[in-house]
Amino acid sequence: MYDPSIGQESLTTVDVVGVLFGHILFGVAATLLIDWSWIPLSPQQKDSGRSLKDIKRSWGWNEKADDPNDQINIENKRSIVQGNKE
């Protein structure tokens, strides 16, 4: 894109595509990583589609942070099951 104030091109196609891609990436990340449940919804809005909680649950995301002890217990159970198979 030509900028007459400096007499040369100031934005290239790569710049524009980079900015667009960055905005899209930020939008997706903000949608998935930020807790939006504080926004009040009307009953019609709630009935119109799946909630973000339902979508995250279908993707296997837990609502609460994982407890490190739970992960250790899961790994111990896996090793016990694998030990029994051998």
Q: Where are the domains of the chain?
A: 1-34, 40-86
Q: How far apart are CA 3 and CA 67, in angstroms?
A: 55
The string of pLDDT tens digits covering residues 39-52 is 787 888 788 887 77
Q: Where on the phi/psi map is residue 9: left (φ > 0), alpha (ψ -120 to 50), or beta?
A: beta
- pLDDT over threshold 80, residue 13: yes
Give the SS3 label for residue 8. strand
Q: Phi/psi of residue 8, each to 5°? A: -155, 175
Q: How far apart are CA 22 and CA 8, in angstroms?
A: 25
Task: Return the H-helix or E-strand segment holding 58.
Answer: helix 52-58
Average pLDDT value for residue range 25-51: 84
Q: Can you name the residues that pair with 3 across neighbouring β-strands?
A: 8
Describe the chain by its helix, strand, coil percentages, rounded to 5: 60, 5, 35
Q: What's the pLDDT at 23?
A: 97
